[in-house]
Every structure is written in C-alpha cells, then in structure tokens.
Chain A
Amino acid sequence: MSAGHRQPLFKLTKMNVIGILFGIMFGAVLGASNLHEYDTIHNMLSLEEIDVFLFMGSAIAVSAPALWFLERRGFATPLGGDLKLSRPKPEAHHVKGGALFGIGWAIAGTCPAPALVMISSGAWMGLIALPGIFLGLHLRERQVVRQLSESVPEESVPV
C-alpha cells in the first residue's frame, strides 16, 4: 500500500480490525459447513453430493445482485473509496492457472481458506497442505520476479 516502512503489525487500525473480523466470520462459516473436511470436497468433486455447489451458488446469488446494486448507486465505502468492481477479460494465464489449481484442489481436497480451518479443527495433515500452498505461491512469485528482471531494468522491478 504505502511505500517506505511497513505498516506496523500490532496497531489497532480500522482495516486490521475489519481484516481479523471478516477472517473469523469467513473461517467460521467454512468450518460450520464442513468445507475443511477432505470428504466434503471429495464428495463434491466426485459429484456424489451437490451441497457445496449449492453453497457456492447461493453465496453468489446473494452477493452478485447486491454488488451490482451498490456499484450502480455509486456507493462510497467507509474505508476503501467508491465501490469499484473489477471485471477483467479472460487471458491465457487464467485458463492455465485455473487448470493447475483444479488439479491440485482435487488431489489435496482443500484450498487456501479451508486449509487453515482444517488445522484449526485438529487435522494434522492440514500442516502438510499449508506449507505446500505457500511453496506453490512462492514458486510463482519467484518465477515472475525472474521474468521481470530479465525483461526490464532492475529499478523498475516491483518489490
């Protein structure tokens, strides 16, 4: 966000409070809905059970019209300026990334948010998935930085 020194971690800012509160609520909904269980995801992806599709679908059915309405009204958010939705066009990296993500999701039976809840619930193999997710994200970050440093001068590399 801002250049120079990092924002302090232990500072009671509105954004930090919003961050932890929304994290807690999101994590609690995932845990209450058993999305942190391998079986729930596996039964969804083997099409034995449609609950998770309905869960995701109903979340979108509630949020899409509300976001459309707020954006149309030119809603000013208290902490983030005017509400601006992002609607980029699909590119090759979306298909490539999505394809790899799906394969990994099916094998690991979890994804970034539920993996944390998996650990909360005492599932020790969540401690195998978590560093894997970090590693995957990190490998891509390194790849991008390397590509950038090969194509543009050093000082314009985002840090």
Chain B
Amino acid sequence: MIDVLPDRLPWFIGGPILGVLIVGLFAVANQPLGASGAYVQASALVRGRHDAVVWRVWYFVGLFLGGVLATVILRESAGVRSGYDALREAFPLGVAVPLVFAGATLLGYGAAVAGGCTSGHGMCGTAQRSPASVTVTATFMATAIATTFILGILTGGAL
C-alpha cells in the first residue's frame, strides 16, 4: 500500500533494530523477546486454561500484525503463494506438505524440550550470556546445517 521498504532490509539495519527491541522488552518488562512461549500461551488460552499469560497472546497476535505491516503495508510483497518455491521444485506437493508439517512438529517439540527457540535462546539467551542458551544455539545451528546438507545430498542437489 505505501511501499517504502526495500525488497530486503539489509542485515546491518534489521539486526541492530532487533537488538534494540530485545533490550527494550527487557528494560520495560524484564521479559525476553522469545516466540515459542507465545505459542504456549496462545494454546493455553484457546484451551481455556486459567494460567494463560494474556500479554504473551497479544504479543503472538502482534507478530502476525507486524508481518502484515512489513509485507503488505510497507512493502507490497505479499500474495497468495506456497512460500516454499525451492521445496516445491524438489518435491511434489504430496511430499512437501507432510514434510513441512513433520519439520514444524519436530521444531516445536525440540523448542519445548530446550525451553526456547531461535529468538528465546538464539538471540535473547545468548545476549544474556546464558551458558544454557549458548549450548542450545550451537547445537541447533550444527544440526540445522547438517540436516540441510543431508537434504541437499538426498535430493541430488535439488535442495
């Protein structure tokens, strides 16, 4: 609609802004800018649990709205599409859909076991100099890179 953002915000602008946001949420509310916890609270709310942390649900909603702000309003890049072009070229839809679902389930389960994901451990935890978060981050980076290379070999270089 307004279309003022570049095709991709360079890392040296986006990264430091994210750093400021991490400091901001800690400075205002003593809370990490994580994401998997927001899923946990959203699901607790939907299931009618009384201990659901409501502000984390609004944060969850905010993530979606922020995506709309960046990809629809500030830059006209949204549109109905699979979002997985490279994966769709390597696999037929009947394989790609269950593969993404299985991968997402695995990462959700792993994030719950580890107590956080790329944002909670990878960025906020590392920024707090937490040895546990550094361990989680080093581990998921290693297995993610290894998995990507294995996928590349298994698909004969298509991925």
Q: Mark A102-130, 1 if CB is under 8 A from B, else 0.
A: 11111111111101111111111110111
Complex Cα distance, B17 from A64, in Å, reads 13
**Shortest CB–CB separation between residue A34 and chain B, in angstroms?**
5
Complex Cα distance, B33 from A70, in Å, reads 16
A20-B59, A102-B110, A102-B147 known; 8 other A-B pairs, CB under 8 Å? Answer: A6-B52, A42-B159, A54-B11, A89-B131, A98-B110, A112-B107, A120-B78, A140-B113
Contacts of B119 in A (CB 8 A): 26, 111-113
Complex Cα distance, B127 from A104, in Å, reads 24
Contacts of A107 in B (CB 8 A): 99-100, 102-103, 106, 147, 151
Q: What are the 10 A-B residue pairs with the smallest beta carbon separation, nearest first?
A: A23-B62, A27-B66, A123-B83, A136-B108, A97-B114, A132-B104, A62-B19, A120-B67, A80-B30, A104-B107
- Interface size of B in residues (CB-CB distance below 8 Å): 123
Q: Are B64 and A117 in contact (CB under 8 A)?
A: yes
Cβ-closest chain B residue relative to A80: B30
Which of A95, A96, A111 neighbours the largest number of chain B CB atoms within 10 Å of its CB? Answer: A111
Residues of A contacting B: mostly: helix
A 5-55 contacts with B by CB, 8 A: 5-9, 11, 13, 15-34, 36-39, 42, 45-47, 51-52, 54-55
Which of A9, A94, A111, A118 neighbours the largest number of chain B CB atoms within 10 Å of its CB? Answer: A94
Q: Are A159 and B49 in contact (CB under 8 A)?
A: yes
Contacts of B57 in A (CB 8 A): 9, 19
Cβ-closest chain B residue relative to A100: B110
Q: Are A116 and B84 in contact (CB under 8 A)?
A: no
> Contact check: which of B7, B39, B121 meets A133 at CB < 8 Å?
B39
Q: Are A119 and B64 in contact (CB under 8 A)?
A: yes
Complex Cα distance, B114 from A96, in Å, reads 7
Which of B5, B96, B143 neighbours the largest number of chain A CB atoms within 10 Å of its CB? Answer: B143
**Shortest CB–CB separation between residue B12 and chain A, in angstroms?**
6
Q: Are B67 and A117 in contact (CB under 8 A)?
A: yes
